[in-house]
Amino acid sequence: MLIALIHQQHLDLRELFARHQEALLQGAFDEAQRWLSHYMDCQRSHIQIEEQYLFPLFEKIERASRWDVSLYKQEHEKLEKFMQETKQDLEWLMQQDLSDSDRRRNIIALIDKQKTLKGLNEHHEDREETAMLKDLEQQLDEKALKFLASDIKFTWAEVKAAVAHAE
């Protein structure tokens, strides 16, 4: 239940980043910036959900998986750093007066650089789904899981509504 719920959030986030990259690839910078901003807002809210609802519980339960909460926190910090970097790179690119060819090459360079963000994010999501969330599902009772899921669902619905409203 919890795994499926968080997995759906991970998919929603991937979709937003894909929209950003699609626009970037077309050289539609304003649109790329808009989708990146939605992605960052949602990724930050997602991180907040995990840190507020899941991490305190994960710290308390008996862990069967290898990693404790500090690794997940560190990865969140790295994600934040890479998101800010990509935002700054895009802002820089938008300010340049470039030939068509140079613009295309800079877009390629930015998409290449974003591989680090995507790779870290994919590993992180995978770790959450196969380790932390699996532990939580096994250790928490049915009632606690239900409460947790409904809180998380409600919060994410609000986050998504804000993006839909802004579009």
Residue 110 interacts with Fe ion (CB under 5 A): yes or no: no
By beta-carbon proximity to Fe ion, the closer residue of 32 and 54 is 54
Does 50 help bind Fe ion (rule: CB under 5 A)? yes
Least Å distance between CB 106 and Fe ion? 30
Q: Contact between 13 and Fe ion (CB under 5 A)?
A: no
Q: Is 117 in the site for Fe ion (CB under 5 A)?
A: no
Any idea how long the chain is? Answer: 167
- Per CB under 5 A, which of residues 63..102 are in contact with Fe ion? none
Task: Using the rule CB under 5 A, give the single segment among 47-55, 56-64, 81-89, 136-144 that binds Fe ion.
Answer: 47-55
Residues engaged in binding Fe ion (CB under 5 A): 50, 128
